[in-house]
Amino acid sequence: MSREEEGKLMYGMLFSIKSFVTKISPLDPKDGFLNYKTSKYTLHCLETPSGIKFVMNTDNQAQGIRELLKKIYSDIYVKYVIRNPLCGIGEPIISELFKNKLDVFIKQAPLTAARAS
Give the mean pLDDT of 24-39: 75
Residue bearing the bigger pLDDT, 68 or 115: 68
Domain boundaries along the sequence of the chain: 34-116
pTM for the structure as a whole: 0.76
Average pLDDT over the chain reads: 83
Q: How far apart are CA 12 and CA 28, in angstroms?
A: 22
State the fold for domain 34-116: Beta-Lactamase (3.30.450)
What DSSP state is assigned to residue 100?
H
Q: What is the DSSP string of 9-28?
A: HHHHHHHHHHHHHHHH-SS-
